[in-house]
Copies of this chain bind each other. A is one copy, B any other.
Amino acid sequence: MTDTLTATALTLKDIAREAGVSLATVDRVLHNRPGVRPDTVRRVKAAIERNAFQPHVAAAELARSRARRFVFVMPAGPNPFMQQIEAYLGEMSAWLSARRLGVEVVATDVFDPSVLAAALEALSGNYDGVAVVALDHPGVRAAINDLVDAGTRVVTLVSDVPSSRRHHYVGIDNIAAGRTAGALVGRLVGQRSGKVAIVAGSQGLRDHSERIFGFNQVMATEFPGLSVLPVLEGRDEDDRSEQVLARLLGRHADIVGLYNVGAGTQGVAKALSDAGRGKQVVFVGHDVTALTRRLLLQGVMDAAISQNPGHEARAAVRVLLALARGEPILREQEKIRIDIVMRDNLP
């Protein structure tokens, strides 16, 4: 049994001949450019349909021969996950330059909306596309919309601003991620009952608050034996996270589960180990980094919820490119999954 998936290769010229027009006219119809009589449009479209004609992308790219420039706006500071995304962008450099694509990275303070908004405004007109790790704030939303209005393609990365008119979001569903974390903590705790702690960077960050929301949802409805303590805020910093958690551990002897929503994992793990409870408390966090990898192997962490940083970097570039060229986006391919990573399926 054999099954063929592709047609034979026609060219614009073939379509032109078949429709009784010239190359240029077919090209106009193909790109919905004005200046063609409706009737002619119909004839050409019919010929295109009839032959399931697909223009040769390589030829189109070559003829257009326009270098494109994209920019990634990333948080300043030592967040390991963000550094991984940048590292993967770096690994694409040969791929990028073979396609005459230029990618730049600018770092900025994402915790301050006005700084971020100003950084975005400054980009206007200089790039074909912008990928931004965004903060959901009216000023940022406005800056994104301004870019879009100016004809720049914009994708949000990791953290979305759904109320803006960004063209695409590359990242996970953070509510579902929180739910997944909740289900893991609940199921891995097992029969035991007790308290569950949450450490977040800041509840002002949309991704963090969404994760917490999802986590609490599952806890409340499915694990009545577990009671969730008020959220601690560690600003994604190791020291601060360690302090707040250490204090909490001191006050509650019956903590059986711990959800670390953001970064600061080093501090969280230290507080847990120093309290001598590394193995008794079910500890679920986010992202696979050198540190979380080690913690998973040691059995201190039980699971990491992860979004593949390499995939996010590549997806953001591909989506910006598709948008710039007016090609369709392969949604299935660009969708970022919520990965559950445990010791035995570490990538």
Residues of A within 8 A of B (CB): 1-7, 9, 52, 54-59, 61-62, 67, 76, 86, 88-107, 176-177, 179-180, 182-184, 187-188, 190-191, 214, 218, 302, 305, 308, 310-311, 314, 328, 330, 332-333, 335, 337-345, 347
Q: Are A99 and B188 in contact (CB under 8 A)?
A: no
Q: Are B187 and A4 in contact (CB under 8 A)?
A: no
Q: Is the interface of A mostly helix, strand, loop or mixed?
A: mixed
Number of copies: 2
Which residues of the other chain, B, contact A184 by a CB distance below 8 angstroms?
342
Residue on B nearest A5 in the bound complex, by CB: B103
Task: Judge whether B9 and A100 touch: CB under 8 Å.
Answer: yes
Supposing A177-B345, A310-B333 touch, asked if A5 and B183 sit within 8 A by C-beta, the answer is no
Given A2-B106, A5-B93, A54-B97, A335 and B347 contact (CB-CB distance below 8 Å): yes
Nearest CB of chain B from residue A161's CB, rounded to whole Å: 23
Nearest CB of chain B from residue A332's CB, rounded to whole Å: 5
28 contacts between A and B (CB under 8 A): A1-B76, A1-B106, A1-B107, A3-B107, A4-B104, A5-B90, A5-B92, A5-B102, A5-B105, A6-B96, A6-B101, A6-B103, A54-B98, A55-B98, A57-B99, A58-B61, A88-B332, A176-B344, A177-B345, A182-B344, A183-B343, A183-B344, A190-B190, A190-B191, A335-B347, A339-B339, A340-B340, A340-B342
